[in-house]
Chain A
Amino acid sequence: MHPGRVAVGGVVCIVLLVTAATATPLWNVPEPGSDSATLGNGTATVSVVSTPEELTIEPGRQGGGTYYLRVPDATVNISERNGNPILTYKIDIDGLGKSRSSVHGVADLGTGQKRLSIERLSLDERELDEDGQYTATVSLILRENGEKRVLYNESMPVEVQR
């Protein structure tokens, strides 16, 4: 037997076997309460560790009148998870009518200290007021079995850097 061929044949077999093993309908029965539990069903203990301290709208480095609001990450501590409740990190900018959020299944996050981030918001120069001073509401919300629990909800000023 040629050793190279054996190695190649072996890997091809492994790849095919592992792939065949994903033919789930044959034997896999989903267990209740497993990680793939329905999003929103379940409970968890979540404590807020850190939230943004300041928010600044900055001009984009490509120019052309684009501005960005980069929202700093929030840090939470997750423990005693059961099922897959939903954790939402959200920012609303009053006066601009803009909001952005990130939604997480707690089962996907896992337990321990976790960072939540929000994608940067892009704004056009024309949307911003001349002497722009805005207020933003930053919130962290946990939804357990359809019940909404506000973990954090604070208003803070947003500065526009020109």
Chain B
Amino acid sequence: MSDRTDDQAVTIRALLWRLGRAVFGDRAGLALFLGTLCVVTATWRAGVFINDNFTLVWTLEALSEGRAWIAPAGESAYLAPGTNTRAGVIFGRNYGQVVAALPALWLLQAIDAILDLRIALAAAWHLLALAFVVQLGRLSGYRLESQLGGSVLVGTSFLLNAAIAQSFVSVSVYTLALQVTTAVAAALLAVVLYRLVTLRHGRKAGVVAGAAMVLVTPISLWATIPKRHVLGALIAVGVLYAFARSRESNGAVSVPVLGQAPVYRAGAYALIGLWAWVHAAEALFMFVALLAVDIPTAPSNDRRSLAVVAAAFALSLVPLLVTNSIVTGEMLRPPRAMGERGLTAPAQENLTSSGGGDSSGTASGIEGLFGALGAGSVGVVIAQVVSITVEGVASFGNVESLYRTYVASSVEGIQQNKSRFLGINLALLEPAPVLGACIAAVVGGVHAGHERLRATLDATDALAVLFGVGFVLIYNGKLPLNTQVTVRYLLVLYPLGILLLARSATVRGLLNTHRSELVWSYTAGVAVGGQLLVAYLVIGQYAVGEAARIHALLGVVLGIAVAVTSTASAFDERARPVAAVALGLAGAAGTVFFLLATLSHFAFVGEYVLPVAGALSDLLSAVG
């Protein structure tokens, strides 16, 4: 009897071990997952950030009750952004994302039934933190020290949190479930980026890339906001990883029944198919990019491989087609193709406390695309893709809005936000000035010479570039846009940007030869610079729009400094220490932005999940 339970225990352990290997790759991947989850949820506020979060919350509520529509249509019915009305009922949006949140919802509902949700979530956070510290100890060889130190720290912190914890006042489990899902997606995104970089440049570069993406880019800010953008970034980087694996040796994996099959290649297509369930237009552009790179570079395009790939892709589209027939009544018309409430919905989104927005959106390229998808004609779809591409390329003629979107934002550029939120919309570079080093990556690559560049670049790089270009083409004409906050439509450019830095010999060189300068300037930047900024912003009682301008200015200055010094370091070794310090400080600015945005500027959103984070936030607002 006991032998049998022992055997079972061994099998379960082996199974967990294999599952862990499949998801995280190795212990470093697991540590990165746990660490990311802890960081992004440390300042987690349970609540709605943007008006259209409501749409997702209500859609989840509806699905959990077994229906697809969120409310009966009527004159008094509130039409949340992105909803569609058909057959007398209002439908939600992003069904794929909402379905992904169901397991988290069931878990939370079960916990809520018996325990105090606030304490239970604090407990879960602390158990994750303990697991993270223990894994870190095993990785670094300080196993006993981390176990003892971690126990003391985590135990104390938990008791402190439990002592000051008060039950949530008005927090919906539906919001929490959506937030848990996006936070897990952000952690998986860090893991996938780590594994992708590790394939080419080894574990160390991989860990730095994964951790940097979380700590110095706004991925962490969006990780607990129930929007699709973090999930989209996860899908994009996931496709890149699957694609890179499919190009290894022969790229085939042995599968039961099928035998040798191009599993990774099929997986890349299937991920895109699943994304179509959330945002069909983005998925379509990713599909076109993948097709363009995959077919010419595949290890083999024999009939059997193509059949496996096509079957996987077709299967992954089933949820989309089922949802379409329920919501729009036509299998080939995605929800976003109905009415004008397609991608123009952003114009209606507003930060929660600013109330509803106007619904004056004009149909343009992307809505046309949805219409074409509805029409189901391949020719029309291609024509629309071409027209969006042409429109996207044409939008590059507007140099001012390019500058305002990618480099330095302006208050006057986006006036739709209510006055107190005027100025909160940052450009791509501002919240993550390390991306300034992308210039160095490109210039350094070109400087290394044509031959060398051709030897290092591979099909995965081409796909990454096409993904970036695809997203830019879709959205560029509309940007800068209100409530983009950190150009959230192009959030995928942050992991792709970090990938570019990781692929750059110039940037990796800085990391190898000047690590201590980097680490010290980053640490000092966060600890000292962060406190100075807190003193300046908090004591000066800056409103969120005003504070954002300070971050913007800091971000642009540091971003340019990084661009100049790291580019110089590609030509002259003497510039390297300076470039390393600039990179460290730019990273610190990104981290401080995340901390201040979540603890101070956007503190009015919802309730802090960790009681100590709430107390810290109160303290910051009381100083002034």
Contacts and interface: CB of A to CB of B under 8 A. Distances in A.
Interface string A55-66: 000001111111
Given A4-B143, A8-B130, A62-B423, A18 B418 contact: no
B134 interface: yes
Contacts of B116: 19, 22-24
Q: Which secondary structure dominates where chain B touches chain A?
A: helix
B543 A60 contact: yes
Interface in A106-144: 115, 119-120, 122-124
Contacts of A124: 419
A124 B421 CA distance: 11
A11 interface: yes
Interface of B: 114-116, 119-120, 123, 126-127, 130, 134, 143-144, 146-148, 150-152, 154-155, 158-159, 162, 411-412, 415, 418-420, 422-423, 541-543, 545-546, 548-549, 604, 622
A18 B548 contact: no
Given A7-B147, A15-B127, A60 B546 contact: yes
Nearest to B353: A119
A115 to B, nearest CB: 8
B144 A3 contact: yes
Contact of A66 (B120, B146, B155, B420): B420
B623 to A, nearest CB: 12
Given A15-B158, A19-B123, A60-B543, A65 B147 contact: no
Given A15-B126, A62-B549, A4 B155 contact: no
A106 B92 CA distance: 41
Interface in A1-41: 3-5, 7-8, 10-12, 14-16, 18-20, 22-25
A64 B541 CA distance: 18
A46 to B, nearest CB: 20
Contact of A60 (B154, B158, B418, B545): B545
B143 A70 contact: no
A122 B420 contact: yes
13 contacts: A4-B148, A11-B151, A18-B123, A19-B119, A19-B120, A22-B116, A61-B542, A61-B546, A61-B549, A62-B423, A62-B549, A66-B423, A67-B419
B115 A18 contact: no
Given A4-B144, A61-B549, 12 more contacts: A12-B130, A14-B159, A15-B154, A16-B123, A22-B116, A60-B543, A60-B546, A64-B545, A65-B422, A66-B419, A68-B420, A119-B604
Nearest to A123: B419
B155 A11 contact: yes
A64 B119 contact: no
A66 B144 contact: no
Nearest to A18: B162
Given A61-B546, A64-B423, A68-B543, A14 B155 contact: yes
Contacts of B545: 60, 62, 64, 66
Interface of A: 3-5, 7-8, 10-12, 14-16, 18-20, 22-25, 60-68, 70, 115, 119-120, 122-124
Contacts, number: 106
B482 to A, nearest CB: 13
Contacts of A8: 130, 134, 147, 150-151
Contact of A23 (B114, B143, B543): B114
A8 B546 CA distance: 45
Nearest to A19: B123
A10 B423 contact: no
B147 A64 contact: no
Contacts of B158: 11, 14-15, 18
Given A11-B130, A64-B422, A124-B419, A19 B115 contact: yes
Nearest to B145: A4
Contacts of B418: 122
A70 B407 CA distance: 32
Most buried by B among A4, A68, A115: A4
A32 B146 CA distance: 46
A18 B419 contact: no
A65 B126 CA distance: 45
Contacts of B148: 3-4, 7
Contacts of A7: 147-148, 151-152
Nearest to A67: B419
A62 B414 CA distance: 13
A88 to B, nearest CB: 18
A18 B163 CA distance: 10
B296 to A, nearest CB: 50
B129 to A, nearest CB: 10
Nearest to B545: A62
A68 B415 CA distance: 17
B411 A62 contact: yes
A66 B127 CA distance: 45
Given A7-B147, A8-B147, A22-B120, A62 B126 contact: no
A140 to B, nearest CB: 19
Can you list the 9 inter-chain pairs with the closest CB atoms, starting with the nearest?
A: A4-B147, A122-B420, A62-B423, A22-B116, A64-B411, A7-B151, A19-B123, A11-B155, A61-B546
Contacts of B152: 7
Contacts of B423: 60, 62-64, 66
Contacts of B119: 18-19, 22
B126 to A, nearest CB: 6
A123 B418 CA distance: 9
A79 B65 CA distance: 49
A68 B148 CA distance: 50
